[in-house]
Amino acid sequence: MNYRQIGKTDLNVSELSFGTWAIGGSWGSTDDQESLRALDYAMGNGVNFFDTADVYGDGHAEELLAKATKGRNSEIQIATKFCRAGDIHNPATYSLESVTKYAEASLKRLEREQIDLFQIHCPPIEILRDGQVFDVLNRLKEQGKIRYYGVSVETVEEGLLCLENPDVSSLQVIFNMFRQKPIEELFPKAQEKGVGILARVPLASGLLTGKFKVDSEFEEDDHRNFNRDGAAFNVGETFAGLEFRKGVELSDKLAWIENNRGNRTRAALRWILEHQAVSSVIPGFKNVKQVEDNLQALNAAPFTEEELSRLEQFYVEEVRPEIRGPY
């Protein structure tokens, strides 16, 4: 395992880490015991960083992390998020009183005294423009409830706005072979400002695993069923904003990336790891097998300059025109 620093912080995290949305809920059926085994397997293989949120299973993902990391709080760093349990458009959701309650509730579920990285969970751009939430987060830092804070954003515009605040330590962005826009301006600016990048939805909700067919179906409580057109939340969070059938078609055109890399999953993660602006890539998981497969990306062959150019051209010509929603 290799480790990378999150921006200017002293958080040195595994370059391949894991997100816990899937084990919390909204990804179909889960098995808590298998989730705990998978978390243990990840930590046993050098993973020292996990991303979660208070709304993943209404706090269940945080509780699972507490069980998995018990006695290892000093070794394992956790990032969690807040605001989507309330009205994200109401400024009161971002008041000192409200954010303090969110932080204390997460701390209780995580069984920790301090949150390593506290992230605003995809707030509207008007909240970021107002900026008062950053003053609130600075208060929580002063109180010792959080070490650092960052923002999970939906668009490059939101990310660039956050970079204007010198106390923002990280940006969490949708980044994968289907969503290459952050490379152009956001990544260089983040590196210039010393802000870490956490790459979420790295496999485009599973499209980049190559496992789906155009007639694949998902469980009723899986967001890939109920949010595939953005009905429940931002359309980009599901299949990277691509219409499902089109996404499967585009993924199949990328079958060639598997050469010398084992499978499409490992290749897709390997591609992200080759971007030095990325502090950590955070795929989801539901079992040990998925964790094991994702970790094999660390041993996958790097991409050649010719392959990278081919992927950029593919994105510009075939993928970008198909992406729905602002990004």
Give the rounded percent of residues in the chain with a pLDDT score beyond 70.
99
Q: Which residues contact 78 (CB under 8 A, 6 or more apart)?
A: 49, 50, 51, 52, 65, 69, 110, 112, 115, 116, 117
pLDDT of residue 29: 72
Query: What is the mean predicted confidence (pLDDT) over 299-327?
Result: 97
Output 161 or 27, whichever has higher pLDDT: 161
**Residue 264 near residue 209, CB atoms below 8 Å:** yes
Band of pLDDT at residue 274, cut at 50, 70 and 90: very high
Of 49, 11, 323, 12, the C-alpha closest to 177 is 323
**Residue 170 near residue 13, CB atoms below 8 Å:** no
Per DSSP, 144 falls in state T
Query: What is the mean predicted confidence (pLDDT) over 226-233?
Result: 90
Band of pLDDT at residue 267, cut at 50, 70 and 90: very high
Average pLDDT of the chain?
96
pLDDT of residue 13: 98
Band of pLDDT at residue 25, cut at 50, 70 and 90: confident
The first and second tokens of residue 109, run together, are 């579920």
Rounded Cα–Cα distance for residues 23 and 36 (Å):
9
Per DSSP, 301 falls in state P
Instruction: Note the pLDDT tens digit of each residue in 26-65.
Output: 666 788 999 999 999 999 999 999 999 999 999 999 999 9
The pTM assigned to this predicted structure is 0.95
Rounded Cα–Cα distance for residues 278 and 290 (Å):
21
**Residue 284 near residue 42, CB atoms below 8 Å:** no
Rounded Cα–Cα distance for residues 277 and 60 (Å):
31
Instruction: Note the pLDDT tens digit of each residue in 184-194.
Output: 999 999 999 99
Query: What is the mean predicted confidence (pLDDT) over 216-230?
Result: 91
pLDDT of residue 27: 61
Query: What is the mean predicted confidence (pLDDT) over 70-93?
Result: 96
Rounded Cα–Cα distance for residues 39 and 24 (Å):
13
34 three-state secondary structure: helix
pLDDT of residue 251: 97
Rounded Cα–Cα distance for residues 288 and 158 (Å):
35
Band of pLDDT at residue 280, cut at 50, 70 and 90: very high
pLDDT of residue 73: 87
52 three-state secondary structure: coil
